[in-house]
Amino acid sequence: MGIKKLFIVLYLLIPVSLAAGSLTDKIINNLYKIKNYRGIADFYVTLPMTDEDVHYRLYMSSRVSENDTLCPYDYFIEVESDTHPTLSGSFMTYFDGNYFSFGNGRLREYHVDENAVPFTSRLSGNHLISGVHRSGLFPGELPQELAFRLETFKSNPTAKITEYPDTIVDGRRVDALAIEEWGSGELMRSLFMTFDIDTGLPINKEIENNPGHIGSQTVVTHYFGSQINIDFPSDFFSEERLLREKSEIMQLYRNSNYRAENLKGKESPFFSLPLASGNGRFDLENCKGKSVVLAFVDTEGSFCNDVLAIAKKLKDTDICWVTLYKESLVGEDLREKLNGPGIVVSNAASVAMRYGVVGYPTVFVVNEEGIVTDIYIGYSPKLRDELESAIMQ
């Protein structure tokens, strides 16, 4: 089915009168009944303005993990792409508080027993941002995640759901849902989803973000080859399997500098960013010969403010304190942050990735020779004393 075809079909459908939400409830319940799943999906993204289609093929496996409080399912997704060949061979997997993601020549791994912050969901405005293991493009295509997101739409007063039970789409009998998500009086997102009328498995999903705007984007997922009640090997969702089947990737990348802890004793990666004030740039070389504190923070965490309060108390020392905000600072937010301590830069998410930062705040101490001597992930009341001790060594 063409990437624009589903919405055309939608206008030909007539919703059947049912008790409000009954079809949505049926679909959610069917999705939650799926304990083990394996399937293939073609995932298309139409880039705004150019109308170019980017295509990924997803090989997905998942199983319910009822006792896991972080995520109700384990999953393994492998990615191939004919339009972006460099992404072929990418994978992402979550199980038992462990998340591994490989793509663009980089392996990232997160373990809740080492640092729980990346796994924590948080609100940003009216949107709930999932933990790292449930974020990104592809985990949201799993049937178990579709059920969770449909529940979210159902409880959202700004979302309108229109139900089409036992209807025909593209010559096939399906159950269908059309969803509109509104915000500030504007249509932010339109979705059209079809499900197998017998098994409840997803068939197609089309999302149009910012419809009617020049920057609108269309995302289409077409499912095929879906199987349920799969008997996975006992170590299918495990690190042992990764070490066995992805041994080259695991051995080559996992001991790289992409984990913050691995930087200790190594040279601090160089970076250059525009100053948040707009007056010039900051290069790490600017602080050569001095002790440097690199404080990676975001604008939403209260613990980040606690870290920056420490910097104000150290302002009279000969320390090069650099505050690196993950987000772009604009307007009133910019003026407020520019009154903060030390050198302030924003849009530092890419630098944070190079340093292996997965949660905020994360603070690095770099000595006069440019070597990382100490790393602090998160905040504790003892952090000021620990920082002062590390800097004065």
pLDDT tens digit sequence for 56-105: 999 999 999 989 999 999 999 999 998 877 778 899 999 999 999 988 77
- Asked if 259 and 357 count as a contact pair (C-beta separation under 8 A), the reply is no
Q: Which residue has the tokens 């036992």?
A: 166
Q: Which residues of 231-261 are buried (b: 16+ CB within 10 A; e: fewer)?
A: eeeeebbbbebbeeebeebbeebbeebbbbe
Average pLDDT over residues 346-358: 83
Put simply, whether the predicted model's pTM sits higher than 0.75 gets the answer no
pLDDT tens digits, 153-176: 998 888 899 999 999 998 899 999
356 or 239: which carries more pLDDT confidence?
239
The string of DSSP letters for 2-55 reads -TTHHHHHHTT--PPP-STTHHHHHHHHHHHT--EEEEEEEEEEEPTTT--EEE
3-state secondary structure 196-211: ECCCCCEEEEEEEECC
Average pLDDT over residues 367-376: 90
Q: Which residue has the tokens 């992404």?
A: 87
Q: Who's near 197: CB < 8 A, 6+ residues apart?
A: 166, 173, 174, 175
53 or 168: which carries more pLDDT confidence?
168
| Range of weakest confidence among 197-201, 222-226, 267-271, 369-373 | 267-271
* pLDDT score, position 389: 78
**How many angstroms separate the CA atoms of 317 and 99, rounded?**
40
Average pLDDT over residues 286-311: 83
100 or 251: which carries more pLDDT confidence?
100
Average pLDDT over residues 30-55: 86
238 or 46: which carries more pLDDT confidence?
238
- Band (pLDDT 50/70/90 cuts) for residue 213 is low
Count of CB atoms situated within 10 Å of the CB of 6: 24
